[in-house]
Structure 1
Amino acid sequence: MEIDFSEINYLQNPTIKELHAGYEQFLLSMSGPTVIDITGIDSKKYRVINTLLQGNEPSGLIALHRWLTTRDPSQLPQTNIRFIIGSVEAASKSPLFTRRFIPGHYDLNRCFGEAKIEQITNLFSHDTNYQGCCQRAKLIEQAIREVNPDMIVDLHNAASPSPTFSISSVVTTETLSLASFFCQTLILSDLHLGSLMEQKFSCPFITIECGYSLDEQAHEVAFAGINHIANCENIGYIHQEKNVEVIYRPLRLRVKDNVNLAYAKHDEGYSGVTLKTDIEYFNFGGTHQEELIGWLDGNGIDNLQLFDKHGKDVIDDYFYARDNQLVCRHNLRVFKATTNKQVALNDCLFYVVRHSNNES
């Protein structure tokens, strides 16, 4: 599929005709990444809401389309709002909202930042699709910087059933307040993946994982949050809607390259790593010390890796092999565990943090 990475489209206060009757028709009407600007009461200030960086995460698009088509045009938001819609082509490929990115291309939310680009340039120096993805990431970053916003929210979904949570690289009054518009959990992350959230903007920035991409409640979470943002007078002095728990620095559990991944109810003797088919339920309650979460082949725990912020593999501090069983060494909090094999291999099996790890 030919993609024009050099273009980003702009809409100013679009009409109902431009927005179409439903979000699916609206998605299919877009030729590529799109910026939508809505004029607010204070027309000198902007708030940015970014979404659809990954094509299988629709809640942000569904919510912003609902907000745009149901709001009273005479009731302006407190400031200008800039919506940015990223991976339109991946989301538009039939069946809609089933592809994180188009095969042969790259995850857009792993292509931000000069440091990331320099780190892996040698691997992809002759790959025009990768260079194009980085170009699109720069266009999105530029679309944010050119309006100097007073806040940024990036809306995402999980690939499996999951509660809503937020992520930020800092914990401040503003990020806690913004998080409270959507959920009651904020994860402080120092991971460096090439995501939009890792870039330095001179304003509060949070990522919202709205919940499962097929869950209507996830769309409701995104819509309610957009309403809050539109109607809040001053982001710097927001009254927290609800108490927000802070969870510090999760790590990403991954299978090593060329290791097979499977899911099963029982030990089927597969090569590589096998996770339990109900692994996603740990998203809601975590795991207990000594709890079985899967099975391993003869290579045992060496099939897996869990790097800390210093690049050290700390897999043995969190999990161990009991015979051929994969077992938790501690009580753990688990996020974004999925049975979607493609997502698990391309991103991670899940994010994990010790239950008792609550210091900064």
Structure 2
Amino acid sequence: MAHLKTELLQQRDQLPERLLDISAQDLHQVLPQPTLLHLKGKQSNTLFISVMLHGNETTGLYAVQTLLKKYQSKLLPRNVSIFFGNVQAAREGQRRLDGQADYNRIWPGTEFDACDETRMAQKVVDVMAQRNLFASVDIHNNTGLNPHYGCINRLDPAYQQLATLFARFVVYFTRPKGVQSAAFAELCPAVTLECGRPDQTYGVKHAADFIDSCLNLAELPQTPVHPQDIDLFHTVAQVKIKKHVAFSFEDVNVPLLLDRDLEKMNFFEVPAGTAIGKFDQTTPFPLEARDEHGDDVSERFFELRNQELLFKRPTMPSMMTLNERVIKQDCLCYLMERLQG
């Protein structure tokens, strides 16, 4: 199998030329479409890695390049399969292109209608389900000020052990649906790595070191993580700005003017009454917060008082960002509460 094409997906079992040195923006020159690359290792169970599901999140690609260069002249410690995702969005330096599906919302369990991208994601899962999976690692960046942390979709000890191998901050979530880690959590321990901003070189080293550790582990411990080794949080709501609401961090003439210090709230418990912006209308309410069941819980977390948009209760945000395009394409933030490990 040197080159096998299925709809959007191509599969390869040999390292393409230039792959180890190409930039994310030029990746399409080597891999013109989403690609699943299978590489042999000493151990037959397979570490699955997905990178570039969002085209502006480059740390995963550069971490994989770093790792593969290390093993260029010797056999990998175990089999590795790497999925290179949205290469066309990477070409433009965007999370996704306008009109394009979000590559981290298309996996089995998605709420999207069936399309070429969902069929591609199902094919990746089907292929990998036959490859004796050891673990799954999905590598991401975020645009706001956030620590490095791992995300899991199950609370089983092996999943927590995998996540804490990367960072003591671990976030458990069940929404949004259709994410890669949730699909692979049905098959093996799975984690999403949040590696800070893509321009931070430490993220590349941290992710590459983590992958290397996964390659060399004999097995994942099945014992619970010691409470002192984990800060475990549960995502209780995803917050979006309603589509019809114009917003800005700069333009005072829009209805919703957001606070430019929002991203400093990430991973800090903010008290009730903390303002996140000003809204110059009384109706409709500008935000929509939905819990893990998809229910609207906006009034539980937010209130409007004297044109100020406020947190109604103490909460801990994550992924607050000043990037307006990302907010429109994804969300304003997630809200979390602490869990006992």
Shared fold (TM-score greater than 0.5)? yes
SS in 2 for 1:211: coil
For 1:102, the equivalent position in structure 2 comes to 97
CA contact (8 A) 1:168 1:206 kept: yes
Q: After superposition, what is the alpha-carbon deviation per residue over 1:45-68, rounded to whole angstroms, capped at 9, x for unaligned?
A: 111111111111111111001111
CA–CA separation in structure 1 for the residues paired with 2:309 and 2:296: 17
Matching of residue 318 in structure 1 with residue 317 in structure 2 = no
Aligned amino acid, residue 39 of structure 1: K
CA contact (8 A) 2:152 2:163 kept: no
Q: What is the TM-score with the length of structure 2 in the denominator?
A: 0.88
For 1:34, the equivalent position in structure 2 comes to 35
Aligned amino acid, residue 294 of structure 2: G
Map 1:159-308 onto structure 2 (within 5 A).
159-199=143-183, 201-236=186-221, 243-264=229-250, 268=252, 270-271=254-255, 273-299=256-282, 302-308=285-291
CA–CA separation in structure 2 for the residues paired with 1:182 and 1:213: 17
Aligned amino acid, residue 100 of structure 1: R
CA–CA separation in structure 1 for the residues paired with 2:237 and 2:197: 21
CA–CA separation in structure 2 for the residues paired with 1:26 and 1:318: 42
Deviation at 1:170, TM superposition (A): 1.0
CA contact (8 A) 1:269 1:297 kept: no
For 1:342, the equivalent position in structure 2 comes to 325
Deviation at 1:335, TM superposition (A): 0.8
Aligned amino acid, residue 311 of structure 2: C
Deviation at 1:240, TM superposition (A): 6.7
Map 1:65-80 onto structure 2 (within 5 A).
65-71=65-71, 73-74=73-74, 76-77=76-77, 79-80=78-79
Q: How many aligned positions are there?
A: 334
Deviation at 1:298, TM superposition (A): 1.2
- Structure 1 ranges of 4+ moved more than 6 A: 238-242
SS in 2 for 1:249: strand
Aligned amino acid, residue 32 of structure 1: Q
SS in 1 for 2:146: coil
Deviation at 1:275, TM superposition (A): 1.4
CA–CA separation in structure 2 for the residues paired with 1:22 and 1:189: 34
Matching of residue 111 in structure 1 with residue 106 in structure 2 = yes
* Alignment counterpart, residue 157 of structure 1, candidates 141, 145, 148: 141
CA–CA separation in structure 2 for the residues paired with 1:269 and 1:5: 49
SS in 1 for 2:158: helix
Deviation at 1:142, TM superposition (A): 2.7
Deviation at 1:270, TM superposition (A): 2.5
Q: What is the TM-score with the length of structure 1 in the denominator?
A: 0.84
CA contact (8 A) 1:301 1:321 kept: no
CA contact (8 A) 1:252 1:348 kept: yes
Give ranges in structure 2 of 5+ residues lacking alignment: none
SS in 2 for 1:197: helix
CA contact (8 A) 1:153 1:207 kept: yes
Aligned amino acid, residue 47 of structure 2: R
SS in 2 for 1:224: helix
CA–CA separation in structure 2 for the residues paired with 1:304 and 1:66: 41
SS in 1 for 2:212: helix
Q: After superposition, what is the alpha-carbon deviation per residue over 1:66-102, rounded to whole angstroms, capped at 9, x for unaligned?
A: 111133633531x211111111121123xxxx21112
Matching of residue 52 in structure 1 with residue 52 in structure 2 = yes
Deviates more, 1:276-285 or 1:48-57: 276-285
Deviation at 1:212, TM superposition (A): 1.2
CA RMSD in angstroms comes to: 2.6
For 1:358, the equivalent position in structure 2 comes to 339
CA contact (8 A) 2:33 2:88 kept: yes
CA 1:113 to 1:288, structure 2 compared with 1: closer, same or farther past 3 Å?
same
CA 1:141 to 1:299, structure 2 compared with 1: closer, same or farther past 3 Å?
farther
Aligned amino acid, residue 162 of structure 2: L
CA–CA separation in structure 2 for the residues paired with 1:233 and 1:21: 30
